[in-house]
């Protein structure tokens, strides 16, 4: 691989152990993937920082980088941790707070911006054609497909290494020639007959190449976010070219196949029938946007208070300050708000019989992680269920 003089110095250890180690990771991974050079990145997002997912080996790796003077060389944000940072949630279990705090101290020492969210584009939306090194599958596919950023799905070691060096390897989705939509996917009609996450789960499972999705212009960006996160969960996708949305010049189209999604097949992707009394309504995977919070608030005002089960909404930590009034009112109406975390990267304090969620990604992971029945529903359906309407 070709390295500039500066990159050679980094690799040789002229800037210290942490940068040399980081450069070694980037070069090794890049060479394995056939990269011929490195590319400068403008924003790194590190996904694996929750103690409940990375465990003690991940903690030790991050601490060692911090102790040996590793510092962010580029704007770097982080994914949710395994605790509710507001400390007010009665649903999320904060018993791993001691370990999570050790990780957080190291991340702070490395000068990362501790947003603890999977919607880092809320803090810094990427520009079309900008190179990034992001982890977190839902954020990666959103950056590539909605903003036209150029990023692969990076695991934590590569993202951390990219933060310390400011570079990543130039391969995969960093090259325009690999950003080609090959399967035209036409949306079902009517579009919103089943909860929208089911469409993403279906595409992820059934389409292997980069899809060119048509017919999504009339739904909200939050619904598109839900579809993309769901397809990234069920199918490892990192880019979908979306007609009328993905910025021009960041993709090509060379169609080989056309597929039409039909509503009757989507029924298989909304989860099975549920039973039991202990119900949790969950919204906020990926983390709720301000518009989604407002929508929940509007529905709560319309219907009153929760009478059955519990409701959890997950948001970025900063929203507690930015949307304080709305959050206080939601809490007063019985909604549990957890900040900087989510049930996929943390634990519950209690066992639920079933979960109703609007998120295809949450359905995909919660069933596997918490061994609980999960069903997809629209936000209004979830609220009505909990209000006993």
Count of residues of this chain found to bind ligand F3S when the rule CB under 6 A is applied: 14
Regarding 166 and contact with ligand F3S (CB under 6 A), the answer is no
Contact pick of 131, 287, 310, 373 for ligand F3S (by CB under 6 A):
287
Contact pick of 285, 296, 356, 386 for ligand F3S (by CB under 6 A):
285
How many angstroms separate the Cα of 77 from the Cα of each of 42, 235, 256? 12, 25, 38
In the complex, the smallest distance separating the C-beta of residue 256 from ligand F3S, rounded to whole angstroms, is 30
Q: Which is nearer to ligand F3S, 165 or 288 (CB)?
A: 288
In the complex, the smallest distance separating the C-beta of residue 137 from ligand F3S, rounded to whole angstroms, is 8
Q: Which residue from 102, 109, 25 is spatially nearest to 65, judged by alpha carbons? A: 109
Segment interacting with ligand F3S, rule: CB under 6 A, options 95-103, 199-207, 280-288, 301-309: 280-288
The Cα 287–Cα 272 span in angstroms is 24
Regarding 363 and contact with ligand F3S (CB under 6 A), the answer is no
Regarding 174 and contact with ligand F3S (CB under 6 A), the answer is no
Q: Do 271 and 372 meet the contact criterion of CB atoms below 8 Å apart?
A: no
The HSE-up count of residue 353 (CA atoms within 13 Å, CB side) is 8
The Cα 139–Cα 286 span in angstroms is 8
Q: Which is nearer to ligand F3S, 39 or 114 (CB)?
A: 114
Q: Which residue from 127, 142, 158 is spatially nearest to 38, judged by alpha carbons? A: 158
* Binding mask of the shown chain, residues 290 to 329, with x at each position contacting ligand F3S by CB under 6 A: ------------------------x---------------
Q: What is the three-class DSSP state of 83?
A: coil
Q: What phi and psi values does residue 348 have, to the nearest 5 degrees? A: -90, 155
Q: Which is nearer to ligand F3S, 207 or 229 (CB)?
A: 229
In the complex, the smallest distance separating the C-beta of residue 342 from ligand F3S, rounded to whole angstroms, is 3
Regarding 43 and contact with ligand F3S (CB under 6 A), the answer is no
Regarding 168 and contact with ligand F3S (CB under 6 A), the answer is no
Regarding 376 and contact with ligand F3S (CB under 6 A), the answer is no
Q: Do 146 and 224 meet the contact criterion of CB atoms below 8 Å apart?
A: yes
Regarding 145 and contact with ligand F3S (CB under 6 A), the answer is no
Regarding 345 and contact with ligand F3S (CB under 6 A), the answer is yes
H or E element that contains 184: strand 180-186
Q: Which is nearer to ligand F3S, 47 or 168 (CB)?
A: 47
How many angstroms separate the Cα of 52 from the Cα of each of 36, 56, 145? 36, 9, 29
Q: At how many degrees (to 10) do helices 156-165 and 51-67 cross?
A: 30
In the complex, the smallest distance separating the C-beta of residue 282 from ligand F3S, rounded to whole angstroms, is 9
Segment interacting with ligand F3S, rule: CB under 6 A, options 66-74, 249-257, 284-292, 298-306: 284-292
In the complex, the smallest distance separating the C-beta of residue 179 from ligand F3S, rounded to whole angstroms, is 23
Look up residue 259 and give its two tokens.
Answer: 């597929």
Q: Which is nearer to ligand F3S, 174 or 287 (CB)?
A: 287
When computed from its CA atoms, the radius of gyration of the chain, rounded to whole angstroms, is 21
Regarding 83 and contact with ligand F3S (CB under 6 A), the answer is no
Query: What does the DSSP assignment read for 96-158?
Result: THHHHHHHHHHHHHTT-B----S-GGGTSPPPTT-BEEE-SHHHHHHIIIII--B--B--HHH
Q: At how many degrees (to 10) do helices 360-370 and 197-206 cross?
A: 70
Q: Which is nearer to ligand F3S, 19 or 229 (CB)?
A: 229
Q: Do 204 and 235 meet the contact criterion of CB atoms below 8 Å apart?
A: yes
Q: Which is nearer to ligand F3S, 19 or 335 (CB)?
A: 335
Q: Which is nearer to ligand F3S, 167 or 323 (CB)?
A: 323
Q: Do 296 and 335 meet the contact criterion of CB atoms below 8 Å apart?
A: yes
Q: Which is nearer to ligand F3S, 225 or 373 (CB)?
A: 225
Contact pick of 41, 229, 311, 327 for ligand F3S (by CB under 6 A):
229
Regarding 79 and contact with ligand F3S (CB under 6 A), the answer is yes
* Look-up of token digits 């880019």: 239
Q: Residues in the site for ligand F3S, rule: CB under 6 A? A: 79-80, 118, 138, 229, 285-287, 314, 342, 344-345, 361, 365
């Amino acid at each position: 691989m070709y390295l500039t003089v500066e990159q050679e110095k980094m690799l040789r250890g002229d800037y210290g152990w942490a940068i040399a180690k980081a450069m070694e990771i980037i070069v090794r991974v890049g060479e394995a993937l056939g990269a011929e050079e490195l590319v400068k990145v403008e924003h790194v997002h590190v996904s694996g920082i929750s103690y409940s997912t990375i465990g003690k080996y991940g903690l030790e790796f991050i601490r060692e980088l911090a102790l040996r003077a590793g510092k962010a060389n580029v704007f770097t944000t982080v994914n949710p941790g395994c605790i509710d940072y507001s400390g007010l949630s009665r649903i999320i279990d904060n018993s791993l707070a001691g370990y999570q705090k050790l990780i957080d101290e190291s991340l702070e020492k490395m000068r990362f911006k501790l947003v603890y969210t999977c919607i880092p584009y809320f803090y810094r939306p990427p520009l079309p054609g900008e190179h990034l090194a992001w982890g977190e599958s839902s954020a990666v596919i959103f950056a590539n497909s909605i903003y036209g950023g150029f990023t692969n799905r990076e695991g934590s070691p590569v993202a951390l290494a990219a933060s310390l060096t400011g570079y990543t390897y130039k391969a995969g989705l960093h090259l325009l020639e690999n950003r080609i939509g090959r399967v035209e996917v036409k949306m079902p009609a009517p579009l919103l007959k089943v909860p929208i996450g089911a469409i993403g789960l279906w595409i992820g499972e059934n389409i292997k190449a980069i899809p060119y999705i048509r017919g999504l212009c009339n739904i909200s960006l939050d619904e598109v976010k839900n579809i993309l996160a769901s397809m990234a969960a069920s199918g490892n996708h990192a880019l979908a070219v979306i007609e009328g949305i993905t910025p021009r010049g960041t993709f090509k189209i060379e169609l080989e196949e056309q597929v039409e999604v039909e509503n009757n097949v989507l029924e298989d992707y909304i989860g099975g029938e549920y039973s039991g009394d202990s119900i949790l309504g969950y919204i906020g995977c990926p983390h709720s946007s301000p518009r989604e919070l407002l929508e929940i608030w509007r529905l709560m005002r319309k219907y009153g208070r929760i009478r059955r089960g519990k409701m959890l909404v997950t948001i970025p930590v900063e929203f507690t300050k930015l949307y304080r009034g709305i959050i206080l009112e939601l809490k007063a109406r019985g909604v549990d708000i957890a900040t900087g975390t989510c049930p996929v990267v943390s634990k519950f304090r209690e066992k639920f019989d079933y979960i109703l969620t609007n998120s295809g990604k949450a359905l995909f992971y919660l069933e596997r992680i918490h061994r609980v029945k999960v069903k997809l529903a629209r936000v209004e359906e979830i609220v009505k269920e909990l209000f006993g309407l």
